[in-house]
Chains A and B, each alone.
Chain A
């Protein structure tokens, strides 16, 4: 990690946390954007019939898709918290100075919430598989 700075000609950005959070913000943003299309389309099925809607929503209750949803929530939460960090860097006078610490706060908050939400988010799958 820290040795990366030397390889990057001493800059603080290249190969370091700032670069990776920028990459992650782009990747999560693009992923969430594509999901948004699918999600508006599946919700639009409420105008077709209750049966059609429930049938397609059934896909979301499949254990594999349930796991993908956990990934989606993870992507959105990172994008949201890191977005708030970017706002702090842009508008708070001490933001740029503490951008690395802010990133670790983002990652920490993200990890705590993901751990806490994992069981509630997966309970349908746990129920199906293990009868919990």
Chain B
């Protein structure tokens, strides 16, 4: 018995359910220039860098020297004493968040049908992404190894 399963591409639609046509263009339709081209290119360029940054990060944290056991405040303090690892983590944070947010934007565009739903979801997404990048950047730049507590 081999049940045949397919996942329909987004917006191919269930019959009887109206779906927004993605590529409709006409008088009065706003075009977005080359934005989607740059977005596509960014996913590939940032992806290549993230392969090295993130897999390097995972290897150091999860695999090398006892895996997760070693991680703690002292370990973080030791790493962020070096500008190399500060820069690594900063670049990783920005690229991962932009890459991830752009991917989520694509997923929302593909599956959220109503204009209002898409606007709300993207509003939440962009707010969360900006706050997270801001918080992470602040933490890397203001890290204090001698913090009290």
Q: Identify the A interface with B (CB < 8 A).
A: 3-4, 7-8, 14-15, 19, 22-23, 26, 29-30, 32-33, 36-37, 40-41, 43-44, 46-54, 57, 60-61, 66, 69, 73, 76-77, 80, 83-84, 86-87, 90-91, 117, 120-124, 127
Query: Nearest-CB distance from B93 to chain A (Å)?
Result: 7
**Contact (A32, B100) CB under 8 Å given A8-B4, A124-B68, A127-B69:** yes
Task: Choose the segment among B15-23, B29-37, B45-53 that binds chain A (4+ C-beta atoms closer than 8 Å).
Answer: B45-53
The answer to whether B71 and A57 touch across the interface, beta carbons within 8 angstroms, is yes
Closest to B142 in A: A47
Query: Nearest-CB distance from A85 to chain B (Å)?
Result: 11
The answer to whether B73 and A54 touch across the interface, beta carbons within 8 angstroms, is yes
Chain B residues bordering chain A, tally (CB within 8 A) = 45
Total number of residue pairs linking A and B with CB closer than 8 Å = 123
> Chain B contacts of A54 at CB under 8 A?
72-73
Query: Nearest-CB distance from B103 to chain A (Å)?
Result: 5
Selected from B7, B66, B72, the residue in CB contact (under 8 A) with A123 is B66
Query: 1/0 per residue B129-149: CB within 8 Å of A?
Result: 000100110110011100111
Instruction: Tell whether B128 is near chain A: CB-to-CB under 8 Å.
Output: yes
Going nearest first, the 10 A-B pairs with the smallest beta carbon separation are: A49-B149, A50-B73, A33-B100, A7-B4, A124-B69, A15-B6, A120-B63, A40-B136, A83-B47, A80-B51
Query: Nearest-CB distance from A67 to chain B (Å)?
Result: 11
Q: How far is the CA of A26 from the CA of B60 in the complex (A)?
A: 26
**Contact (A52, B149) CB under 8 Å given A46-B76, A47-B142:** yes
Instruction: Tell whether B121 is near chain A: CB-to-CB under 8 Å.
Output: no
> Chain B contacts of A83 at CB under 8 A?
47, 51
